[in-house]
Amino acid sequence: MLTIGEFSVLGHISTRMLRHYDAIGLLRPAHIGAENGYRYYDPAQLSSLKQIETLKNYGFTLAEIAGLLPLPQQELAQRIYARRVHAYKELNDMRRSIRLMEDDIIRMEGIGMAMEKYAVIVMEVPEQKVFGIRRTISISEVHELFAQLHREMEARGLRRTGATQLICHSETFSYESMDVEAQAVVNADGPEIQTIPAMTCVATTHIGPYETTTCAYEALRSWFAQHPEYQVCGPAIERYLKDEGMVNSPEELETGILFPVKRV
């Protein structure tokens, strides 16, 4: 048996929270001393504690968790799936709010502020060999699309030799339905490998979370308004120069945003 202090250390949880779990009937001590009233826990209860904390991290309330713990694994999985769907909706709602805030900031500060922050250049992009997966998805599914890309590459024995990038094939932007392609630069040949020809692009680099790229797009739109001699002639490209696996925080992410162009 473990004292409440020992159980607290092993479970990485405060004794105050353990007393609260006891009070609401969520995790009762295995034994309470008759003479001193001390709480004692069985080491096997650590797995129950871990499940409680996991479900809390998923966004379930303590009251909901009390009803989830007795469920069979298959039914619990269904409840977690429903929570996942709800979490994606919350994430999409938050992304919409962030983009609206960014639009307001641009409007209040003026377009000139965006132009000062981003250096927009015309650049020549060399020919690339890429492996890609194209899907119609919601914006919340982009991360899973790249996870699928990496799984497919591993299954085919392909090694990434350059940046990953997202090609936006949709003619209009939609949070719910985007025709996009996740690509990785590879040094290989084969029926599933595309060769993207060299092209001229107008580009800028955004530093920070993916959700805050709106200002970079606004800077590019402003640049195009001032340079009518350039016409967009291909889908937008988001190139992940420093992705999540290369940085310690979202503030350090670097995303190149490129628009293929022709001079008219």
Q: Based on the fold, state whether residues 226 and 254 are members of the same structural domain.
A: yes
Q: What is the DSSP string of 167-229?
A: EE--SS--SS-EEEEEEEEES--STTEEEEPPEEEEEEEEES-GGGTHHHHHHHHHHHHH-TT
User: Residue 98: which domain range?
Assistant: 75-110
Same domain for 58 and 141?
no
Is 197 found in the same domain as 98? no
Q: Cite the DSSP H helix spans in 24-109.
A: 45-57, 62-68, 73-109
Residue 180 near residue 141 (C-beta atoms within 8 A): no
CA separation for the pair 108, 103 (Å, rounded): 9
Q: Beta-carbon neighbour count of residue 37 at 10 Å?
A: 7
Report the alpha-carbon distance of residue 239 to residue 174 in Å, rounded. 19
Domain CATH number, residue 44: 1.10.1660.10
Instruction: For residues 181 and 198, state if they share a domain.
Output: yes
> Domain tally for the chain?
3
Give the model confidence (pLDDT) of 192-238 as tens digits.
Answer: 899 999 999 999 999 988 877 888 888 898 899 999 999 999 999 99
CATH of residue 127's domain is: 3.20.80.10
Tens digits of per-residue pLDDT, 4-21? 999 999 999 999 999 999
Q: Are residues 165 and 47 in the same domain?
A: no
163 and 254 within one domain: yes
Q: What is the pTM of this model?
A: 0.61
35-53 average pLDDT score: 92
